[in-house]
């Protein structure tokens, strides 16, 4: 009787794991590209999962997602330029912020609205268009491609 109960419990767990894998939930397979639509170079990009209410942000909130050179220095993205980000996202809500260099001053811009990837098909690409214009107005635009 106990063996039957254990087998049933293992079957339920296995079915749940298969369901998560087959639906794409939990897999980080959404690619990211960034286009600088502003007037200043983007030096840092932070994309991290929005924590559950009352929980602190995770360690990925401090990871700069911008490409780096062989020495590990960030490659700034000039206005009008695009780059692929070597980081994959899962089907979750994300906070997005970037840092621009304005004549020696670093300016941080955070999107007040989370990037919602919960309904994006697996293996899509999200194009992030972001920038800070000469009037210091930040902008974010997200487009999804299958």
In a domain, 8, yes or no: no
**For residues 93-101, average pLDDT:** 97
Query: Domain count of the chain?
Result: 1
Domain with 54, as residue range(s), is 28-145
In a domain, 12, yes or no: no
In a domain, 5, yes or no: no
Determine if the pTM surpasses 0.85.
no
Confidence label for 10 from pLDDT (cuts 50, 70 and 90): very low
In a domain, 11, yes or no: no
In a domain, 6, yes or no: no
In a domain, 73, yes or no: yes
> In the chain, pLDDT over 90 holds for what percent of residues?
75
In a domain, 75, yes or no: yes
> In the chain, pLDDT over 70 holds for what percent of residues?
82
Closest CA to 97 of 46, 138, 35, 38: 46
In a domain, 2, yes or no: no
Q: Are 36 and 79 in contact (CB under 8 A)?
A: yes
For the chain, list the strands marked E by DSSP.
Answer: 30-36, 42-49, 82-89, 93-102, 105-110, 115-116, 125-132, 138-145
CATH number of the domain where residue 91 is located = 2.60.40
pLDDT digits (tens, 9 = 90+) for 65-84: 999 999 999 999 999 999 99
């Amino acid at each position: 009787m106990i063996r039957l109960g254990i087998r049933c419990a293992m079957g339920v767990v296995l079915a749940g794991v298969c369901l998560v894998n087959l639906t794409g939930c939990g897999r980080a397979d959404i690619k990211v590209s960034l286009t600088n639509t502003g007037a200043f170079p983007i030096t840092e990009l932070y994309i991290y999962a929005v924590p559950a209410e009352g929980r602190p942000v995770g360690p990925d909130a401090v990871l700069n997602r911008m490409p780096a050179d062989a020495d590990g220095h960030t490659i700034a993205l000039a206005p009008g330029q695009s780059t692929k980000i070597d980081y994959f996202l899962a089907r979750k809500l994300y906070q997005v912020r970037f840092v621009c260099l304005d004549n020696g001053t670093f300016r941080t811009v955070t999107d007040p609205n989370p990037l919602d990837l919960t309904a994006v098909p697996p293996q899509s690409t999200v194009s992030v268009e972001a920038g800070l214009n000469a009037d210091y107005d930040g902008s974010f635009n997200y487009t999804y491609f299958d």
